[in-house]
Each structure stands twice: as C-alpha cells, then as structure tokens.
Amino acid sequence: MRSVALRAGANLAGFRAALRALMAEGVPPAEVVWQEEGAPADLHARPLVPHPEAPAVPLPRAAVDLIATVVMHRAPERYARLHDLCWRLTHGEAALLDDPSDPLVHRLGAMAREIRREIHKMHAFVRFRRVEEAGLERYVAWFEPEHFILEAAAPFFRDRFRALDWTILTPVGSVRWNGESLAFGPPATRDEAPAGDPVEAAWTGYYAATFNPARVNPARMRQEMPRRYWRDLPEAATIPGLIAEAPARAREMIEKEAEMPRKRDPARAVAAMAEQRPASLAELNAIIARSDPFVEGGTRAVLGEGPDHAAIAFVGEQPGDQEDSQGRPFVGPAGQLLDRALAEAGIGRAACYLTNAVKHFKFRQTGKRRLHQTPTAGEVRHYRWWLETELDLVAPRLTVALGATAALALAGRAVPVTKNRGPWRFGDRPGYLTVHPSYLLRLPDAEAKAREYARFVEDLRAARALAA
C-alpha cells in the first residue's frame, strides 16, 4: 500500500503531482490511501516518493475540467475517486465519461454540480460591510462556504468591485483585493468581520418594501436561499416577520383597486399632451423638459436642435450617454459619425433639424457605466405625440428616419429597415428610411464598416436630392 499526504483544501497541484508519480509506478487505486494534513497516518502504507520527472497523464479535456472542479469538494474520498477515474480512462475505458449511468461518473458529476452551486451561492450571498481605517474606506464580508471554493469564486468579486478595497473572510481562508491584485491569506473567525454598517438599515427597509406577500413560498425561498446563509444576510432578519404578515398584506392588495402609475398610463399621458396644444416649438420644448420620463433612466429630456422649416429633419432612436450628459442630440460617437457623413454628402448640420423618437436616455447602470437599453414599442408610442407635434411645428420638407425605432415612431408600426431602405412616406410626411449611425459603429470588421459607411453617405445624398 502507498499513502499520499496532501495539504488540506483544494490541492489541485498536489493531486496532479501525486497522480503522475502513481501512474508512472503503475500503482492502482486499490493500493493507495489518500490523506489530508491533520488526518491520522496509515501505519501499513508506505509514503509515496515524489517523482518530479514523471510524465503528464494523458486525459481528455472533460476529465481535466472535472478534476479541477471536484478537488474543491470537501468530501475526503474525492482524491481516491479521481484517481480511480484517471486509472480507468488510461486502462481501456477511454469513453468512460460518456456513460452517466456508471456509479463513479454519476458521483463525480454530482460533486461537480455541488461545487458550481456553491460558487453561485457565494456570488449571490456575500454581503460587504463598510469599515474605516485611518480615514480610508474598506469593505469586509464574512462567508462560510461548504466547500473549498474561495479561490474559484474570488475573480467574480474582483471584476465586479474593481474600484473598492475589499476583503472576504472565511473559516478556510481569506482573500483581499487592493485595487491591483488578489491576495489570499489564512482562515479567519467571525468576530474578525464587522457586525454591520450604516447602509444596512436602508437596505433592509428597501427589501421589506419590495417584498411581495402574494408570492410568498417559504419552501422555495429556503431552496434558493438555504438557512445556513441567513445569519450573514442583513435582510434575512426581516424574513420571519414578512412571512407572518404576508396573508394580511396579500388580502389588502386584493381588496385595493388596481392603479397604474400616472406616468405609466399611456391613455392619460396622451390625453394630457393633447390638452396642452403648444403653439410654438419653444412651448413644446418647455412641456417636454418639465415632464417625467416614460423610460427608466435619463436625467433630463434631450430636445431637438435646428432651425424651424429646415429642409431635412433627422429622427434617431433616443439620446445616448453623451447626449444625456450634454443635453444635446447627436453629440456622442454616433453623432460624430453622422456629422462626418453629412459633410461628405454635402449637407450642413446647422441647416438640419435633429431630434429623437424618445426624448430620454433609457439605460441600465452597471458599476460606473450606463448601458443603453432599446426602448419598447409601448415606450415609443408614449413619446409619439411629442414627436408628431414637434415635426408639425418644424415643418421640414423631408423627414429621415435613422433606424427601426425612428421608423416605428414615424410610421406608427414596425418597418423593417433593410427591406425598405430608401424613399418612404410616413403618413402625410415625405420621408427617407436608412440605418442609424450607431449600426455602423457596431459592425465587426473594417471592410464592412467602410462598405456600409459609403452606402450610408449615398443615402444622405439621395435624401438631400429629395429635399431639394
């Protein structure tokens, strides 16, 4: 018998080195005792002698990935099972992993799934608390993983919280991100982590306010958020009370007459717009500027820009990040591309009217970035009265729809751009349909960009000729 002693935890490097030595000597799994540091030694087994020059064991990629995952499991027999798998794969059972009914494959697959679930749970249930040290702000979290997943889970937090100085403490190790690199350290105890911070009261209040009593399912909640995580989650303290109150709150919701928020009621919003009847573009812009957005996001309305009775009015989808920041249409990357194309087509931007179908920037916040979100058909419809009134007041000779959202707003229905590109009629308005300049920015290669840009310039030349 041979004995292999590995340090505790997910010791992938130690297992690989031992596996190479065992395979080089031809030692079968039945003659090996795998042990972790701290376990009693087997007096009847000879310690394995390291073989630094032992060749690598040829294994399929699926087996390599499975080993890297299963070594993170806490089960003491994981190394013995993995040795058995490698032995069988290299001794006549090359297709072993294709048989999920094999007891060994089935068990290792179950262990791998447990690891992936545990990593997912750590990503979901770690809660950082703010601490201040010498005037500097840090964030510390306590988590108790069931398996040795810390090193595998840490890159997620690095990528998500790059701007913060944070530490995660666990009973099996710790990890700190200082803004430049991850540093793994020794185990910690719960009392080394902060008990709370000022933000938690606001967070638990928000959690309670958004709790839906009509959909309470305690069994499902425990399945998604096992009780062993509850004591590390500040919102978990409110769950028993929220569950107890759920029946009464659900009855109140049923008895209360359904109401749609004012800014989300299209009938009332359109009726209110029609009653305003602005007599000039300045009056319309004042109405738009003081109105609530119909989309999530947007810090201000971005109004149209250009002279009354312009020969051509260009209608885009919605403002972008730069437009929202500066309060002007078409000043971001797509707007700069449009300016260049207009110049090549012989059209002066100052002589055109530029606006958008949707007047506010719809976005989703991700860290410090604001990611553009395409408006829905309903949201476009809510803004349509403003756009129609705006164009009536500007009275351009030709209206150019830049992209599908602008075409939807002008036509009142979906109009495929690629099939209908060219002269078009939006009700009583003479128009032209082409792509949005942001489409050109998203093209994958330089050749496609150059080809489609030239076609876009030709569209603008054709629009100029029609307007003349």
Instruction: Based on the fold, state whether residues 54 and 7 are members of the same structural domain.
Output: yes
- The tens digit of pLDDT for each residue in 259-318 reads 555 455 555 555 555 556 788 899 999 989 988 888 887 778 999 999 989 999 999 999
- The tens digit of pLDDT for each residue in 379-431 reads 999 899 999 999 999 999 999 999 999 999 999 999 999 899 999 999 889 99
How far is Cα 100 from Cα 93, in angstroms, rounded to an integer?
13
Report whether pLDDT(102) > 60. yes
Answer yes or no: is 157 within a domain: yes
Instruction: Based on the fold, state whether residues 404 and 364 are members of the same structural domain.
Output: yes
Please state the rounded mean pLDDT for residues 177-199: 88
For residues 274 and 140, the model is more confident at 140
From 192, 222, 240, the end of a domain falls on: 192
Beta strands at 363-366 and 353-356: parallel, antiparallel or unpaired: unpaired
Report whether pLDDT(323) > 90. yes
How far is Cα 402 from Cα 353, in angstroms, rounded to an integer?
13
How far is Cα 230 from Cα 232, in angstroms, rounded to an integer?
5
Count of residues in the chain: 468
- The tens digit of pLDDT for each residue in 190-247 reads 999 888 776 676 667 766 777 776 667 777 666 666 777 767 777 767 777 777 877 7
Number of domains within the chain: 4
- The tens digit of pLDDT for each residue in 337-385 reads 999 999 999 999 999 999 999 999 999 888 788 888 999 998 999 899 9
Instruction: Based on the fold, state whether residues 21 and 46 are members of the same structural domain.
Output: yes
Instruction: Based on the fold, state whether residues 43 and 152 are members of the same structural domain.
Output: no
For the chain, how many helices (H) and strands (E)? 17, 15
Give me the domain span that covers residue 165. Answer: 126-192
- The tens digit of pLDDT for each residue in 12-37 reads 999 999 999 999 999 999 999 998 87
Instruction: Based on the fold, state whether residues 160 and 86 are members of the same structural domain.
Output: no
Answer yes or no: is 202 within a domain: no
Instruction: Based on the fold, state whether residues 76 and 216 are members of the same structural domain.
Output: no
Query: Which residues 6+ apart lie within 8 Å of 254 measured at CB?
Result: 214
Instruction: Based on the fold, state whether residues 164 and 227 are members of the same structural domain.
Output: no
Distances from the Cα of 61 to the Cα of 58, 67, 106, 329, angstroms: 9, 10, 18, 52
**Residue 12 DSSP SS3:** helix
pTM for the full model?
A: 0.51
